[in-house]
Structure 1
């Protein structure tokens, strides 16, 4: 049962509850803490209206709107379908908000300990081969609907890389692609299994192998979140492939979490696909 006690600071209040993910004194002292309190309500009581959020946290309508718009822009929250919520009374229907799968994946949880224990038991029973088989099956499920590169041209490989990024984004990895030097990078900005992967790198190895199989070329993992990097970055070389439209351009910057060891200079040939990362 949630407590109704609250404490004020700067005109704002943060609700405290036994199941709340907001810790400490529940004092909302800055934007980050307030955003966390909003996320907590979306998690525990969503779908919920902006008015209800404001009432529970002691926030102004403008303050609630600012946080909700930021969460929606980041893909962490959304306005729920009107069919999900039964409207009561007359007048303009209220908008209800809830967390998205991406928003939920960014919350801390204790499933990592359980997953790690299960993986250790699997290794004890079946050895390394059992871990490798599980890792392959996991990534195969993620890319099950991804069409492999249909040819050997640079554009064929790049389009397949985009499809891979789309599939991993749908699975909660927030993936993008970008052209760098004589290649393209697949960047995963979030990893739902990073804590487990730090102990079981087979999960990362299986992803790299799946990328290589789908793209029809060797790929190189330059960075991983499991190793403490800011993103999982995989470099896909396009050297020698037909790509005349960008062959003379050379002034874009590589992803900050990666480096190109071939000595090639990055390219500005970024396509304008919405799935492309902004340079």
Structure 2
């Protein structure tokens, strides 16, 4: 009697669910319709996966008010986001080991040894990113390359234009625990970003500070007026 083939539904469902989780990780929260559009799936299919994530404690629903043409008549839409347990699925396996190793390194070589390791680590992450040339378009391009580099290394990074600046957002940190105890890791990241874009950068929020996201702002400062323009001549 021949054995029946094992159905592949579970593995396919698992891959789809992880894609949905990754979308929630990158975008913070989203409705089933938004996820369906991004993943080219049916809204009903996405809702089924979201229900499973909620039942397993990996996701949760939140009310998000929709915009309406009539003032004050927006109705709440159900959006979804990952719980802390859901976020933990994206990699902290070596985080405690890294923290322990950095503790030992600090004991043996002091703070400068930790800084040197942090700089060497970030150099590997951003290797291949082209430095900005000074103009706004070049800075935006370099910021995009930086976000891609961080994304490849597990940071779930995005880049957006925000007012008079550009923001690189990291929606996950694979070394969050180590960075909380050794801020040199974050300092080295900010230093590398600043060097590559050629501008002073502003850390606005950090995962280690409890914000759930690391946001680095790159202000695009306007060109200074000439002495003649400042004097009004």
TM-score (norm 2): 0.61
Distance 1:67 1:185 in 2: 32
Q: Name the SS of the counterpart of 2:158 in structure 1.
A: strand
Cα distance change of structure 1 residues 52 and 173 upon mapping to structure 2, 3 Å threshold? same
Question: Does the 8 A contact of 1:183 with 1:237 survive in 2?
Answer: yes
Q: Name the SS of the counterpart of 1:225 in structure 2.
A: coil
User: What does residue 231 of structure 1 align with?
Assistant: 213
Q: Name the SS of the counterpart of 1:222 in structure 2.
A: strand
Question: Does the 8 A contact of 1:152 with 1:241 survive in 2?
Answer: no
Tell me the C-alpha RMSD between the 2 structures. 2.6
User: What does residue 201 of structure 1 align with?
Assistant: 183
Deviations 1:135-157 (A, max 9, x none): 000000000110111x2221111
The alpha carbon displacement at 1:108 in A equals 5.2
Distance 1:73 1:120 in 2: 36
Higher helix share: 2
Deviations 1:5-47 (A, max 9, x none): xxxxxxxxxxxxxxxxxxxxxxxxxxxxxxxxxxxxxxxxxxx
The alpha carbon displacement at 1:52 in A equals 5.3
Cα distance change of structure 1 residues 70 and 105 upon mapping to structure 2, 3 Å threshold? closer
Distance 2:92 2:173 in 1: 12
User: What does residue 120 of structure 2 align with?
Assistant: 137
Gaps of at least 5 residues in structure 2 are 24-86, 225-233
The alpha carbon displacement at 1:112 in A equals 2.7
Distance 1:204 1:107 in 2: 18
Distance 1:107 1:116 in 2: 15
User: What does residue 229 of structure 2 align with?
Assistant: none
The structure, 1 or 2, with the larger RCO (C-alpha pairs under 8 Å, 6+ apart) is 2
Cα distance change of structure 1 residues 197 and 66 upon mapping to structure 2, 3 Å threshold? same
The alpha carbon displacement at 1:175 in A equals 0.7
TM-score (norm 1): 0.51
Q: Indicate yes or no: 2:95 matched with 1:112.
A: yes
